[in-house]
Structure 1
Amino acid sequence: MKPNNLITAGVLGVIVIVLLFFSVTTVPSGHRGVLLQLGEVKSSILDEGFHFKLPFVQTVQPIEVRVQKEESSQTAASKDLQTVTATVAVNFSVDPAGVNKLYQEIGLDYKGRIIDPAIAEALKAVTAQYTAEELISKRPEVSAKVKDMLEEKLTKYFMKLEEINIKEFAFSEEFNNAIEQKQTAEQNALKATRDLERIKIEAEQQITQAQAEAESLRLKKAEVTPELIQLKEIEVQEKALQKWDGKLPSVTGGATPFIDVNGLTGNE
Structure 2
Amino acid sequence: MQFLKGEKLAIQPIVPIVAGVVIAVLLVLNTWTTVQPGYVGIVFDKITHDVRVGLLEPGWVFINPLTESIQQYPVTIQTYSMVQKSSEGQVAGDDSIKIQSNEGQQLNLDAVIQYQVNKSEAARLYEEWGGASIETIEDRVVRQYTRSEVPQIAARYGWEEITSSRRSEIIQKIAARLSEEFQKRHLVLVSFAIREVHLPAVLQQALNQKIEAQQQAEKQRYTLQQTEIQAEQAKVEAQGKAAAILIRAKAQADANSLLSRSLTPELLRSQQIEKWNGILPSVTGSGALPILDLEQRGEAKK
**TM tier, smaller:** 0.5 to 0.7
- Residue 114 of structure 1: how far off its partner (Å): 1.1
Q: Residue 64 of structure 1: which of 53, 70, 74 is its match?
A: 74
CA contact (8 A) 1:41 1:100 kept: no
Q: Residues 29 and 186 from structure 1, CA distance in 2 versus in 1: closer, same or farther, beyond 3 angstroms?
A: closer
- Helix, strand or coil for the counterpart of 1:54? coil
- Helix, strand or coil for the counterpart of 1:26? strand
User: Which residue does 1:36 correspond to in 2?
Assistant: 44
Give the whole-Å Cα distance in 1 for the aligned partners of 2:118 and 2:81. 20
User: Which residue does 1:171 correspond to in 2?
Assistant: 199
Give the whole-Å Cα distance in 1 for the aligned partners of 2:213 and 2:31. 76
- Residue 119 of structure 1: how far off its partner (Å): 1.2
- Residue 150 of structure 1: how far off its partner (Å): 1.1
- Residue 82 of structure 1: how far off its partner (Å): 1.3
Q: After superposition, where does 1:4-43 map in structure 2 within 5 Å?
A: 17-38=25-46, 40-43=49-52
Q: Which amino acid aligns with 2:34?
A: T
Identify unmatched segments of 5+ residues in structure 2. Answer: 1-9, 83-95, 228-302
Give the whole-Å Cα distance in 2 for the aligned partners of 1:177 and 1:11. 74
2:138 counterpart of 1:111: yes
- Helix, strand or coil for the counterpart of 1:69? strand
Q: Residue 84 of structure 1: which of 93, 98, 107 is its match?
A: 107
User: Which residue does 1:51 correspond to in 2?
Assistant: 61
Q: Residue 172 of structure 2: which of 124, 141, 144 is its match?
A: 144
Q: Residues 129 and 12 from structure 1, CA distance in 2 versus in 1: closer, same or farther, beyond 3 angstroms?
A: same
2:157 counterpart of 1:130: yes
Of all paired residues, the percent bearing the same amino acid is 23
Q: Residues 19 and 116 from structure 1, CA distance in 2 versus in 1: closer, same or farther, beyond 3 angstroms?
A: closer
TM-score by length of 1: 0.61
Identify unmatched segments of 5+ residues in structure 1. Answer: 199-268
- Helix, strand or coil for the counterpart of 2:51? strand
Give the whole-Å Cα distance in 1 for the aligned partners of 2:27 and 2:213. 81
Q: Which amino acid aligns with 1:165?
A: A
Q: Which amino acid aligns with 1:54?
A: N
User: Which residue does 1:75 correspond to in 2?
Assistant: 98
TM-score by length of 2: 0.55
Give the whole-Å Cα distance in 1 for the aligned partners of 2:215 and 2:29. 76
Cα RMSD between the aligned structures? Answer: 3.2
User: Which residue does 1:230 correspond to in 2?
Assistant: none
CA contact (8 A) 1:65 1:93 kept: yes
Count of aligned pairs between the two proteins? 192
Q: Residue 120 of structure 2: which of 81, 97, 100 is its match?
A: 97
- Helix, strand or coil for the counterpart of 1:22? helix
Give the whole-Å Cα distance in 2 for the aligned partners of 1:152 and 1:27. 30
32-41 or 59-68, larger mean C-alpha shift: 32-41
